[in-house]
């Protein structure tokens, strides 16, 4: 774990010097530790440049697996630390895969449940979150299920479906030739390098199905979607994204022709729900938050209008 934290700290801070300060170590000690890690893995994890440290392809591969492990260990330590502390008042534990709707959901829950201590757990693995619900570690989980790659939903959980089929869009550099089009075909991106996060449940299988259907076999690089932003704007990769994704400077977000890649969004909970609030109330706040970001996202709003809006108009 110490080695994984060190690798993540160097990547997040951008330099060994900053990472050493963050970890409470001296720079020479961290440098020595990094050399040992690279020797054990059999390859270089970072390019050493004048501006700092940048992950190599092997580094990106290690990071996309190390970050969830480090996050899981941090959460485990926090959970164990609270076991001996007497809980005061009502508590609500919610989980979610990555979604811009979470911020609005938490805001609405704070208004609905002002006396409740609400905690949020995010994870790239929807299956892991669902398992935490059935084990009682979470009260509810908001997850996405990639079309053609069903999740392992534990028996006994109750599903509240938010949207049956949310189309996944594509993020590319605004200088990409396809960015000039309103809708992009998968074939238009056959010569591009695609970034895929293999730790996201169902993502890799879903994309391979889409590529096979389009008759293309693009180059692929594995990495996490936070890292993908800089590579997309630099024109190095294209990557799938949620239709509610916020475009950054230098980035264009476009729907794919025929919407070949889609996910199902739903909230899962145990039959007895949460002592903090009824499941229907939690789901109502989640739905309201999702509609808000859906209709405020330009690319998704245009798609919704063209498809007669499978969602009611948000407030």
SS3 158: strand
For residues 9 and 5, give the distance between their C-alpha atoms in angstroms, rounded to a whole number. 6
Q: How far apart are the first and last CA of the chain?
A: 45
Query: Which range is least confidently modeled, 24-28, 124-128, 169-173?
Result: 24-28
Q: Residue 315: its pLDDT value, please? A: 37
Phi/psi for 115 (5° steps) reads: -95, 5
Q: Residue 73: its pLDDT value, please? A: 84
> CA geometry: angle at 142 spanning 102 and 201, to 5°?
110
* Residue 82 pLDDT class (50, 70, 90 cuts): low
Phi-psi region of 258 (alpha: psi -120 to 50; beta: other; left: phi over 0): left
- Whether the pLDDT of residue 254 is over 50: the answer is yes
Q: Residue 265: its pLDDT value, please? A: 97
Q: Residue 146: its pLDDT value, please? A: 95
Mean pLDDT estimate for the chain: 89
For residues 62 and 55, give the distance between their C-alpha atoms in angstroms, rounded to a whole number. 9
- Whether the pLDDT of residue 12 is over 90: the answer is no
Mean pLDDT of 96-114: 94
| Residue showing tokens 């908001």 | 142
Query: Which range is least confidently modeled, 67-81, 142-156, 177-191, 227-241?
Result: 67-81
Give the other-Cβ count within 10 Å of 47's Cβ.
Answer: 11
């Amino acid at each position: 774990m110490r080695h994984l934290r060190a690798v993540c700290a160097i990547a997040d801070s951008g330099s060994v010097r900053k990472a050493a300060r963050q970890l409470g170590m001296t720079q020479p000690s961290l440098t020595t530790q990094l050399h040992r890690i690279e020797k054990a893995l059999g390859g270089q994890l970072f390019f050493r440049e004048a501006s700092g440290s940048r992950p190599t392809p092997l580094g990106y591969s290690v990071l996309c697996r190390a970050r969830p492990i480090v996050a899981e260990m941090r959460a485990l330590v926090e959970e164990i630390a609270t076991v001996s502390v007497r809980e005061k008042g009502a508590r609500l534990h919610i989980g979610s895969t990555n979604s811009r709707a979470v911020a609005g959901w938490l805001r609405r829950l704070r208004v609905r449940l002002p006396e409740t201590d609400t905690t949020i757990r995010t994870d790239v693995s929807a299956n892991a979150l669902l398992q935490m619900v059935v084990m009682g570690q979470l009260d509810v989980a908001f997850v996405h299920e990639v079309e053609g790659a069903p999740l392992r939903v534990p028996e006994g959980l109750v599903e509240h479906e938010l949207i049956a089929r949310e189309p996944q869009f594509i993020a590319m550099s605004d200088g990409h030739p396809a960015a000039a089009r309103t809708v992009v075909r998968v074939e238009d991106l056959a010569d591009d390098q695609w970034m895929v996060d293999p730790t996201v449940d169902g993502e890799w299988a879903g994309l391979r199905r889409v590529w096979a259907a389009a008759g293309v076999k693009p180059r692929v690089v594995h990495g996490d979607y936070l890292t993908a932003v800089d590579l997309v704007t630099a024109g190095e990769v294209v990557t799938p994204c949620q239709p509610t994704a916020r475009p950054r400077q230098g980035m264009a977000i476009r729907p794919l022709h025929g919407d070949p890649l889609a996910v199902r969004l739903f909230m899962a909970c145990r039959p007895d729900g949460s002592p903090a609030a009824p499941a229907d109330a939690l789901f109502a706040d989640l739905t309201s938050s999702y509609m808000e970001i859906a209709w405020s996202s330009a690319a998704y709003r245009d798609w919704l209008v063209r498809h007669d809006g499978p969602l009611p108009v948000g407030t």
